[in-house]
Chains A and B, each alone.
Chain A
Amino acid sequence: MEVHQFRPSLPPPRMSVGVVGWLRSNLFSNWFNTLLTLLAIYLVWLIVPPLLKWAVFEADWVGTTRADCTGEGACWVFIKERFSQFMYGFYPAELRWRVDLTVWLAVIGAAPLFVSAMPRKALYGAAFLVIYPLLAFWLLHGGFLGLTEVETSQWGGLMLTLVIAAVGIAGALPLGIVLALGRRSKMPAIRVICVTFIEFWRGVPLITVLFMSSVMLPLFLPEGLSFDKLLRALIGVILFQSAYIAEVVRGGLQAIPKGQYEAAAAMGLGYWRMMGLVILPQALKLVIPGIVNTFIALFKDTSLVIIIGLFDLLNSIKQATTDPAWLGMATEGYVFAALVFWIFCFGMSRYSMRLERKLDTGHKR
């Protein structure tokens, strides 16, 4: 018996598969898209080659002084020569191992928190959060238990940026949560205090807060008594950012259905256990993007300490450009600063995305 053989199906038209097909359907599907594509290509052609030429092909990489920068492009020698100053500021060179150790301790100490299977993770996390800041302060500042003191006026560079950001985050988050709970409290006194606090700090610009802390505060204190400048700035940053965190967290609290509160109450849980076990875990999970957003803004805002003469990464770079031996290196310096800030902010945002995916249990479709 003759079996009917279907003819093999023809391949799709050559113009609709592969690279050409993708290009046709995505970039040149109609005259308008074609126009936009061509325009974009023109812009890229306009921007990228000169940029690469400046930053890579005609840039100077080797040498030790400005005289070694003979090319037309960027002078990365400047960054190379000043790199340690951009990282540590004026921290004494022979004591910089303490800064390194502090960073390594943070990395090693926090690593177990990222292991899902680790037992007693909450306990370990709490212990880490209590012990590490004390240890970090001892290592960075010293002055007791056998370490030489390094005054905060000698701190600087990326290290100072990270200190301000880390202390700001570690201080603002708990304070912000407390404020958010306080704002939703049924006790009028607490509610009024929290609302006033939040609205005050949200209503003033950070630059004003820093300026007040460094210029006005000393005038109100008795002569000779002066607070550490960094400490004043840190307190300002914490108070300021906690108000923002509080509002973000409040958004999360309001998104929790009333049933959850009632169910928790029906289980016989008191206020703190209701919040701690039922409401906050759900609410904080909801507002991770908002909180990380605030943290990224905080990280970038640390560069405002430039106006009170603290030498964070940006100000260290700015100061290095005033060295007569390196005048005219501002562009290289600012590009480098932008790169470092971008790396950290991008890292934070990737981590927050990971965290969201991991914790996204209730609303997954």
Chain B
Amino acid sequence: MERAPVFSFRGVVYSYGGSCSPALSGVDLEIMPGEWVALLGANGSGKSTLAKICNALLLPAQGDCFVLGMDVSAPENIPLIRQSVALVFQNPEDQIVASIVEEDVAFGPENLRLPQAEIRRRVDAALELTGLADMKRRGSYTLSGGQKQRLALAGALALEPRALVLDESTSMLDPEGRASFLERIGELNTHGMTMIQITHRMDEIFFASRVVVLQSGRVAWDGESSDFWDGPYLSFDFEEPPELALYRELKARGFVPSGTIPRVDDLLESLWL
């Protein structure tokens, strides 16, 4: 049986008022269930606009966008789309609504008008998943940057979404916070959650199964992440992550077999073997 895409963009165009060039100028893209897509591109390439369309925060000026088969332009679909696709933004401070951790996580389910017992179940589950269960009665303003971003993730997960869109969600985190955050979302993807991860950090692409590069509002490259390293990334002026440089060097000297996805763990494993 053929699986239906989670996101389907067909010739999507979007322009911000006052801007001479469109943010998106004809995006065609399909994202299937369980995929982890790294969305790359320079500033102004349309990544965040695309993310907002995924959640029906912006509506395409032209073309169609379907989320789980629902047209984002149909107002009656918006509540279900927002429930199905959760967004986590760059700055957690901009997403935390309540002063108490559990109250903030409950914000989404409360908007869905769920019964109290169901809200409690979702809040506890989201806090457990994000490792914040011990902090549920703490003031959100007392959390560290990494914990705040995990709180933002918990708030998104409490909606029990089918897909998660991360808009540069790790850019304000320290290496430890970033590793912990990526570990959590990795677990979610393992359990079938569809991911769109907008990032400028090349080393984070190692976690993704697919890479999409946006350039001037169009899809400039789309393919598997392992193929991305074989050359396309060089044509987009992306900075080479140290892991990739190490991989190339080791591969040139015959220490690692060709075709290995250059993840740090894989590299270390190859070296020890």
Partners in one complex: no
Listed in ascending order, the chain A residues whose CB lies under 8 Å from chain B are none
